[in-house]
Amino acid sequence: MTAAKSLLAADAHTRRRNAAETRFRAYGLAAVLVGIGALVLLLTTILGNGAGAFRQTYITIPVTLNADRLDPAGNRDPAEMATVTTFGYAPMLAQALQQHLQAQGIAMEGIGPRDLMAIISQEAPAQIRAMVLQNPDLLDRTLELEMLAGGRIDGYFKGRVTLQSAERDANVSPAQLVLAQAMADAGMIETRFNWAFLTGSDASGQRPEAAGLGVAILGSLYMMLVVLVLALPIGVAAAVYLEEFAPKNRLTDVIEVNISNLAAVPSIVFGILGLAIFINFAGLPQSAPVVGGLVLTLMTLPTIIIATRAALRAVPPSIRAAALGLGASKMQSVFHHVLPLAAPGILTGTIIGLAQALGETAPLLLIGMVAFVRDFPAAPPEGLFDPASALPVQVYNWTQRADPAFVERAAGATLVLLGLLVTMNLIAVMLRRRFERRW
């Protein structure tokens, strides 16, 4: 006979079990902390790099639009004025800047005309030219014009470029930065929120300050439109048929397994498929949102089908029995009772599928969406066939460029993409809350 054990002292076995449980909890907590830490690190890095893209530096100086130079024919005909290229405008701006600086008494030590011009973005002459061509009456007037500052000057006011880094930089000199600081002190340079980043189109590698996401955002939205219009009805119809109507036999088993497999196919394979079928075989245009949308539809379909089937399966069979017992047809029981109850799950699945599609890059590279596109696509439906970019592709594109200012732009674009994804997920959560019913 063993002695009676006291409840007040834990025996060795119990102590071991308790220790194992404590250890397991610690592992779990550590895993969660690692996850949260990675997320925080990611977000702070992107925010730190990308926040600057939402602010932009502008220079405001009075410029006299000299009609002798900009309209040599003197008839104010925009078609003829267009023969004057941006090279006709750039010296005028440089001259205006020099005169204004002299008038303000700001010293320009060690700065030649070329260096002075580099303070203004190369994009500025094009902006002024477009403005003049649109409204020739502006000629021969002196206007307070706002122009983009050069990329390095912009970087200086955002802290990316410093006097120390400028000494090692062939593109900017410390003297230029000193001058820019003096101009800012005189109220000529201002840094403020950058709407053009969200609404403008992409710019060449020398003009990061002018690059915007407008075309990419529009292209992504067009693609989401195509995906939503195609994938939701096809996916839901397929899932309803498979779950509620199809006989359970070998063929439907094969179909089911293949749908699950399709969800695991690498996305680049869908890109090859899209290139072969939609562009080479069907002859649809390259870089077009409609092709991107079709490829992403193929990718999203399995997600929507699987989510819809799970949602349908979660509807209690008693609801179907109740409807059938009242003499409802199979279709009436599905459309009047089962589908409304499954709607929150279907919507959530759809939005998750859309969010996946929104962030997808690889298949779009193959169908030519990585191209440099400056012109906005037209309004749908014609615009779906115009060339456009897409947000993730624009990020990829910008990270390839040499100028460090594009790193900031790429991170900013990532923030926009993340913002859209978070918004979509919030909508999914809200729809779920709104439509969820108890039974």
Partner 1 sequence: MNVMQQVEAAVTQTAPKISAKAVDVFYGDTHAIKAVDVEIADKMVTAFIGPSGCGKSTFLRCLNRMNDTIDSARVTGRIDLDGEDIYAPRVDPVQLRAKVGMVFQKPNPFPKSIYDNVAYGPRIHGLARDKSDLDAIVEKSLRRAALWEEVKDRLTAPGTGLSGGQQQRLCIARAIATGPEVLLMDEPCSALDPIATAQVEQLIDELRSRFCVVIVTHSMAQASRVSQKTAFFHLGELVEFDDTDRIFTNPGDHRTESYITGRIG
Residues that bind partner 1 (CB under 8 A): 247-248, 316, 318-329, 332, 336-337, 341, 437-439
Task: Tell me the torsion sign for CA atoms 45, 48, 54, 60.
Answer: negative
Q: How far is the CB of 340 from partner 1 (least distance, A)?
A: 9
Which residue, 158 or 337, has its beta carbon nearer to partner 1? 337
Token pair for residue 384? 């779906």
Count Cα atoms within 13 angstroms, Cβ side, for 83. Answer: 9
Burial label, 206 (beta-carbon count in 10 A; 0-12, 13-18, 19+):
middle
Which residue, 78 or 316, has its beta carbon nearer to partner 1? 316
Which residue, 168 or 248, has its beta carbon nearer to partner 1? 248
Q: Assess contact for 308 and 259: CB atoms under 8 A.
A: no
* Among candidate residues 429, 415, 303, the one with its CA nearest the CA of residue 356: 303
Length of the chain: 439
Which residue, 230 or 319, has its beta carbon nearer to partner 1? 319
Q: How far is CA 36 from the centre of its chain?
A: 23
Q: Assess contact for 267 and 299: CB atoms under 8 A.
A: yes
Conformation bin of residue 287: beta by default, left when phi > 0, alpha when psi is -120 to 50: left
Q: How far is the CB of 373 from partner 1 (least distance, A)?
A: 49
Q: How far is the CB of 342 from partner 1 (least distance, A)?
A: 12
For residue 63, the cross-strand partners are: 143
408 Cβ contact list (under 8 Å, min separation 6)? 49, 50, 52, 53, 155, 158, 160, 208
Which residue, 252 or 261, has its beta carbon nearer to partner 1? 252
CA angle (119 as vertex; 118, 122 as ends), nearest 5 = 55
Q: How far is the CB of 407 from partner 1 (least distance, A)?
A: 53
Q: How far is the CB of 316 from partner 1 (least distance, A)?
A: 8
Which residue, 292 or 344, has its beta carbon nearer to partner 1? 344
Q: How far is the CB of 428 from partner 1 (least distance, A)?
A: 21
Q: How far is the CB of 336 from partner 1 (least distance, A)?
A: 7
CA–CA distance, 47 with 267 (Å, rounded to integer): 28
Q: Assess contact for 397 and 370: CB atoms under 8 A.
A: yes
Which residue, 117 or 315, has its beta carbon nearer to partner 1? 315
Q: Assess contact for 312 and 335: CB atoms under 8 A.
A: no
Q: How far is the CB of 349 from partner 1 (least distance, A)?
A: 20
Which residue, 204 or 318, has its beta carbon nearer to partner 1? 318
